[in-house]
Structure 1
């Protein structure tokens, strides 16, 4: 503890520490005191910068992880996600194939070696010729069990889109966020 105290005192004092100045004061003493004060100000800035950076990194990591639909599952080390690359996903707007209110047909194909039990996904909906994702921020969950080399299709509600858009002018895709193995208890 004593070593830590002396180390922190040495860093705080820095190479320009001259202690208390007694009168009469020389120009050299005044310059050294100014350099000592500048050193201490720099130490404060470095400590504050590191603290702000650590706080910012921590907050952003927490926001990112806490907002993900799998946040609670990730806390359990035994519950490991599978790779979304093992899934082929497609979406088509087809009101004639689905019940009212769920005009998007989503198809998942399991190219992996395990049965899938839970998929988290989102839609990417854009007007033709535009880049803005009109469906950003909404997550969906499918609990359909999909065996290896099998497909599953279901009807989903269209993401909240502006009312004046023509569905024929919308391109829609599916982005699989995470996939979990089916566990038969």
Structure 2
């Protein structure tokens, strides 16, 4: 009996301490919604290829309240549910069976999205780091390098560009949202569209 009491005396405070960390907090009362309108589904890596002078697409970000805030008997100040964006991360996932992808990168951004405002554009979004098209897996598609991806044997590379945006509500709750852009990359394949 003494042994059980000693285990309980050690276990109960441990459980209480572990349940108080920040991970155990409830989630934010808002969702950060990231969506995109895609201009290009194919990117031709040949210099001067037709249609490639346009952007990959537009990223729109909005904040959605997860609870009904329209109770006139209990007005709510939604200003603390506004989200201040602080960074975004771009990762890549091959969808053609290959494994090589450009390196993941993170960029800073500073933008406030209102909890009740219209969606806003992520104005400084970059899908690739400078010089990324001269590195694997894209370099293998160039004629001087064989024109084929060594992992798949294909003359193109298919991947999803995954954009994850991070921020926090003005009340301090961390939020994030993601969007995917599926794109085919090739060399001398009829331009970008």
What TM-score results when the alignment is normalised by the length of structure 2? 0.37
Q: Which has the higher contact order (CA 8 A, sep 6+)?
A: 2
Name the larger-Rg structure.
Answer: 1
Q: Which one has the bigger strand percentage?
A: 2
What TM-score results when the alignment is normalised by the length of structure 1? 0.38
